Amino acid sequence: MANRVAVTGGSGKLGRAVVRDLVEHGWDVVNLDRVPSPDALAPFTKVDLTDYGQAVEALTRIDDRYDGVDALVHLAAIPAPGLQANAATFRNNMLTTFNVFQAARLAGITNVVWASSETVLGLPFETPPPYLPVDEEYAARPESTYSLVKHLEETMVAELCRWIPELKATGLRFSNVMYPEDYAAFPAFDDDPELRRWNLWSYIDARDGAQAVRFGLEREGTGREVFVIASPDTVMTTPTMELVERYYPELELRRPIEGHETLLSIEKARRILGYNPSHSWRNHV
């Protein structure tokens, strides 16, 4: 029988692409969310993961639907700053992540992929990053409550991995998630590069984000690893070096940047996960 994976937030923007990709690649997927998915590709159980009891039940056994879960993909969250009051974002996101990791521990699930965020790199970069391209090698710089929670989650997971030596936890620092229907807006970004400077003009195609999740589940080894996950190109038609020279002329450039290459380094993901993104907005507009 296929390995069973529980996807929290499987009805959301990124979650829908993740559920589709995992189903297409032979995983037995269950979707745990507060709302159903319009796709109905995987059995759905309505849960509020801020309730520990519901998290435990959902990662253990749901009546006659399933008994036992082999792996967890945790995406459920309020997905950006400003959508709700900061205290509500903190409560929902922090508690949800604590609960699902604790429930996974109780259920003996040792393979977890969870959504972190590009924001921990220092978005919106009102303080410039230490160097370009940005990568996983410098300390987190959360600038909002949303991002602070992502940083606290990364920190919590490092400790959990110390407590549970067999735990493999893969944190994916996703860039801004996009679908082909979002790409029609991209050519206008060139009129005002300031519009997308806040994340260094990066994005992630949801399908490539889903690939990174699957590769995270398949990663060898144990312990916590975090990866920046972005599309290989920017949202701009202007070459990346022109943007660097205009907005960040003082910054150390750690390697040459070519063409429309992203300033969010995906080298670690390529090297360790085998991440190989294949979708670009340039093929859709």
For ligand NAD, the closer CB: 91 or 254: 91
In angstroms, rounded to a whole number, what is the distance separating the alpha carbons of residues 183 and 281? 6
Q: Using the rule CB under 6 A, is 211 a contact of ligand NAD?
A: no
| Cβ pair 183, 285 in contact under 8 A | yes
Task: Name the segment binding ligand NAD (CB under 6 A); options: 10-18, 134-142, 243-251, 269-277.
Answer: 10-18
For ligand NAD, the closer CB: 78 or 241: 78
Interacting positions 45-64 with ligand NAD (CB under 6 A) = 47-50
| Cβ pair 120, 141 in contact under 8 A | yes
Q: What is the DSSP string of 42-92?
A: S-EEE--TTSHHHHHHHTTEETTTEE--SEEEE--S--STTSS-HHHHHHH
Structure tokens at 44: 């759905």
Q: Using the rule CB under 6 A, is 177 a contact of ligand NAD?
A: yes
Q: Using the rule CB under 6 A, is 75 a contact of ligand NAD?
A: yes
In angstroms, rounded to a whole number, what is the distance separating the alpha carbons of residues 18 and 15? 5
Residue 192 beta carbon to ligand NAD: minimum distance, rounded to whole angstroms: 20
Interacting positions 118-157 with ligand NAD (CB under 6 A) = 118
Task: Name the segment binding ligand NAD (CB under 6 A); options: 122-130, 174-182, 214-222, 231-239.
Answer: 174-182
Structure tokens at 84: 């709700």
How many CB atoms neighbour CB 34 within 10 A? 15
Q: Using the rule CB under 6 A, is 6 a contact of ligand NAD?
A: no
Q: Using the rule CB under 6 A, is 81 a contact of ligand NAD?
A: no
For ligand NAD, the closer CB: 150 or 168: 150
In angstroms, rounded to a whole number, what is the distance separating the alpha carbons of residues 259 and 242? 10
Residue 14 beta carbon to ligand NAD: minimum distance, rounded to whole angstroms: 4
Structure tokens at 229: 């996950």
Residue among 49, 71, 69 at smallest CA distance from 59: 69
DSSP character for 264?
Answer: B
97 backbone dihedrals φ, ψ, rounded to 5°: -70, -40
Interacting positions 217-256 with ligand NAD (CB under 6 A) = none
Q: What is the DSSP string of 121-168?
A: GTTT-SSPPSEESB-TTS-----SHHHHHHHHHHHHHHHHHHH-TT-E
Q: Which residue is nearest to ligand NAD (CB)?
A: 12
Q: Binding ligand NAD by CB under 6 A: which of 117, 145, 199, 202?
A: 117
Torsion of CA 61, 67, 68, 69, to 10 degrees: -80
For ligand NAD, the closer CB: 155 or 245: 155
Q: Binding ligand NAD by CB under 6 A: which of 101, 174, 248, 281?
A: 174
For ligand NAD, the closer CB: 136 or 239: 136
Find residue 74's DSSP bridge partners. 8, 114
Q: Using the rule CB under 6 A, is 9 a contact of ligand NAD?
A: yes
For ligand NAD, the closer CB: 177 or 235: 177
Q: Using the rule CB under 6 A, is 77 a contact of ligand NAD?
A: yes
Contact residues toward ligand NAD (CB under 6 A) are 9, 11-15, 33-35, 47-50, 75-77, 79, 92, 96, 115, 117-118, 174, 176-177
